Structure 1
Amino acid sequence: MTGMLDPAVVPEYPMPRAARCPFDPPPAARELQEKAPLSRVRLWDGSTPWLVTRYAEQRALMADPRVSSDITRPGYPLQAPMPPGGGAGISFILMDDPEHGRLRRMVTGAFTVKRTEGLRPAVQRIVDEQIDEMLAGPNPVDLVPAFALPVPSLVICELLGVPYADHDFFQEHSRRLIRRTTDPEERVAAHRALLTYLDELMGEKLAHRDGALLSGLADRVEAGELTRTEAAQMGVLLLIAGHETTANMIALGTLALLRNPGQLAQLRESGDDPALVASAVEELLRYLTITHSGRRRVALEDIEIAGQIVRAGEGLIMASEVANRDAEAFPDPDRLDLARNSRRHVAFGFGVHQCLGQPLARLELQVVYRTLYRRIPTLALAADIEDIPFKHDGSVYGVYELPVTW
């Protein structure tokens, strides 16, 4: 069927957002959603995978064992050219079971809800200390380097056992990896630099344990359950995912709340109601859905869904930011409503590949959203929203800068 398509008449993906509606998914993707649950789109290499835009079909496909996350399979809809060496160095999130499950189980224990909840006092301390530093510094200030980026970086460094003093190094290379416009050679160099860094850290943990997560992986290496390279690769994944996504949610979520003062007031005046704060986090995750390059998959067999046949070897892209605005799942989906029950959103994916670190992300966002606006009740934008630089060029959406005052 792919050969019957004229790529020239298939819409290009990714699609641009509307400048006047920076929090909303691309209008062209919403138009496709209105027409059908699955539509063909054209990627950078001329391939025409299926874009899945509706909530029910996304959940069904992400839970279907006939759908593969293996980036090395023919037909997988690549975001960029495969680097030299093919699939060498990929993380377990781009693998299928049983290997995916084997590697994932090595770190699952560190991210259980119970284990994560034990980190709440430490996260609260980090958030308060960063707010103290920000209040003692210049006003106005860019919230991204002053608060949004340091908070999750400090948390993930403490959890993994990575020196925070190296944050400039790993943040810069992380940015290069998740930017769609990074050329393949630069992407490979950034990944190699991070892998070398984590491999050296793993060597230190093998010599001297410190009780952090990387030391737990060192135990697995010594027991022969992991190679040192596999452990370093897992460290790269956890380090990048642990700070990039949450940092963007902190900054973009703050901007969304400042643009919705009624909702911000509701959150600020909620006191210590943990249920409302948790609800606010889920709604902001749904409303913003910062992973906006689609979750990529490929069909292993012919699959019939929503009256459409997806053939074996055809690519699938789950546009989560569009599914989370599906009116069938979330009535009046374009309205930010912190009291809405949004827990079933797909911002973290669904099925066996759903985000491993979501309990930690939820906890960090709960502490931030509960604390920041209460401690700085006069927080306000220090620039016109038209002048805010949004991250249209990355696989994670957010803002490069967020000038604020109080």
Structure 2
Amino acid sequence: MVTDYSDVKAVLADRRSSVRNIPDPSRGDEGGEPLPGFFIAMDPPDQTRLRKMLSREFTPRRMEAMRPAVERITNKLIDEMLAHDGPVDLVQALALPLPSLVICELLGIPYERHDWFQEETVKFLRLDTTPEEAAETVASVMGYLGELTVSKMDDPGDDLISLLLNHVRSGDLTIPEVAGMAAFLLMAGHETTGNMISLGVYALLEHPDQLELLRQDPSLIPAAVEELLRFLDIIGNLPRYLTEDMELAGQTIPAGEIVMVAMDAANRDPKQFEDPNTLNIQRTDAKGHVAFGHGIHVCLGAPLARVELQSVIATLFTRIPTLKVAVPSEEIQVKTEAKIFGLKSLPVTW
């Protein structure tokens, strides 16, 4: 296990660190052949080819153009929250549905399917899900997205799947690869961002001094999001398989070993971040965090996740300034049965 910030970045950036030969069905494979389109489980040149195709359409500029849609969906979900007298579970009312609905809009998937995708993603990421169950879940999602992708060949829209079909027409991508990339984006971008939303809101409510700084100066919201990404952790450890010997901190790790890089420890390395265990939204170096990874596998959806987190924090605390946690903090339960860390529920009132 590697915990030092500089060593974590070194491992993630090194081409000797492979994502192959790591049995984990949530990565789209069991250490054998990865699923079509699941470039997270591929090394170059396959990873490079697929990621390059997707990154042409999944640009920061395009993600920023999604902000009005994100804000519209956020406001709609908050409207539904306010229709209740409270308390309301923020996880189910806002945190999980928002990224699910946003990714559906981005990919051009009918809204009415988002509940099903949400259920399939939860099933897929459970720690007790067997490889067979994970494969069945992925096959179900990819089957639907494959049919949807084929239908868009004759009736394209302005969505991401339709744009990727241009690469199918040119012969650079296949239909199964597009369906696989869509399935990966859907599953990877939903549970991760959803958990960060609920954890981030809870962290701000538990640090009223930091929340007050935001209220006094909303221009701090982007910096606050970066600090929350550094301070909180949903991934834990990332595995890498060494294809060659590697020296780290004076130790030689032989080829064939699995190296776990501790993202949470790296983001709280006192050699990199001053007073790292304190939430400080005025921190100037927070953007150096590795919450989205590093190197060739750095999270492609990071710009969209930032837009979603910024929109939720700005809109939620503006529209419900008296928002507060409805139960004592010791009653807040965290997920222990899923690969992505988060809250089981977050009862709030106002």
Give the TM-score normalised by structure 1.
0.82
Question: Would the aligned equivalents of 2:28 and 2:34 in 1 still touch at CA under 8 Å?
Answer: no
**Greater RCO (CA < 8 Å, at least 6 residues apart):** 2
The residue correspondences of 1:117-196 to structure 2 (distance < 5 A) are: 117-196=64-143
Aligned partner (choices 223, 228, 234) of residue 290 of structure 1: 234
Question: Partner letter of residue 367 of structure 1?
Answer: S
Question: Partner letter of residue 144 of structure 1?
Answer: V
C-alpha distance in structure 2 between counterparts of 1:143 and 1:213, whole Å: 29
- Measured against aligned partners, the alpha-carbon deviations of 1:190-235 in whole angstroms (never above 9, x if no partner) come to 1111111111111211221012001122222232211211111111
1:356 aligns with 2:296: no
CA 1:216 to 1:81, structure 2 compared with 1: closer, same or farther past 3 Å? Answer: closer
Aligned partner (choices 220, 233, 236) of residue 180 of structure 2: 233
C-alpha distance in structure 1 between counterparts of 2:23 and 2:4, whole Å: 19
Question: Would the aligned equivalents of 2:5 and 2:269 in 1 still touch at CA under 8 Å?
Answer: yes
- Measured against aligned partners, the alpha-carbon deviations of 1:80-125 in whole angstroms (never above 9, x if no partner) come to 8996793242610111111101001111133322222222222222
> Does the residue aligned with 1:401 lie in a helix, a strand or coil?
coil
Question: Partner letter of residue 33 of structure 2?
Answer: G
CA 1:80 to 1:361, structure 2 compared with 1: closer, same or farther past 3 Å? Answer: closer
- Measured against aligned partners, the alpha-carbon deviations of 1:156-181 in whole angstroms (never above 9, x if no partner) come to 11111011101111111111111212
The residue correspondences of 1:2-401 to structure 2 (distance < 5 A) are: 51-70=1-20, 73=21, 76=22, 78=24, 86-89=32-35, 91-271=38-218, 273=219, 276-292=220-236, 294-341=237-284, 342-401=286-345
C-alpha distance in structure 2 between counterparts of 1:77 and 1:123, whole Å: 35
Deviation at 1:263, TM superposition (A): 0.9
Q: Calculate percent identity across the aligned residue pairs.
A: 48
- Measured against aligned partners, the alpha-carbon deviations of 1:307-333 in whole angstroms (never above 9, x if no partner) come to 010111111111101111111111211
Deviation at 1:77, TM superposition (A): 6.5
Question: Partner letter of residue 190 of structure 1?
Answer: T
- Measured against aligned partners, the alpha-carbon deviations of 1:49-98 in whole angstroms (never above 9, x if no partner) come to xx11111100011111121122xx3xx36588996793242610111111
Question: Would the aligned equivalents of 2:23 and 2:29 in 1 still touch at CA under 8 Å?
Answer: no
> Does the residue aligned with 1:332 lie in a helix, a strand or coil?
coil
Structure number with higher helix proportion: 2
C-alpha distance in structure 2 between counterparts of 1:67 and 1:85, whole Å: 14
Question: Would the aligned equivalents of 1:148 and 1:247 in 2 still touch at CA under 8 Å?
Answer: yes
Question: Partner letter of residue 60 of structure 1?
Answer: A
Query: Alpha carbon RMSD of aligned pairs, Å?
Result: 1.9
Question: Would the aligned equivalents of 2:224 and 2:281 in 1 still touch at CA under 8 Å?
Answer: yes
Question: Partner letter of residue 89 of structure 1?
Answer: L
C-alpha distance in structure 2 between counterparts of 1:302 and 1:196, whole Å: 40
Question: Partner letter of residue 86 of structure 1?
Answer: G
Q: How many residues align?
A: 348
Unaligned runs of 5+ in 2: none
C-alpha distance in structure 2 between counterparts of 1:131 and 1:209, whole Å: 32
> Does the residue aligned with 1:404 lie in a helix, a strand or coil?
strand
Question: Would the aligned equivalents of 2:192 and 2:234 in 1 still touch at CA under 8 Å?
Answer: yes
C-alpha distance in structure 1 between counterparts of 2:313 and 2:27, whole Å: 38
C-alpha distance in structure 1 between counterparts of 2:319 and 2:212, whole Å: 13
C-alpha distance in structure 2 between counterparts of 1:359 and 1:384, whole Å: 34
C-alpha distance in structure 1 between counterparts of 2:121 and 2:62, whole Å: 26
C-alpha distance in structure 2 between counterparts of 1:81 and 1:219, whole Å: 26
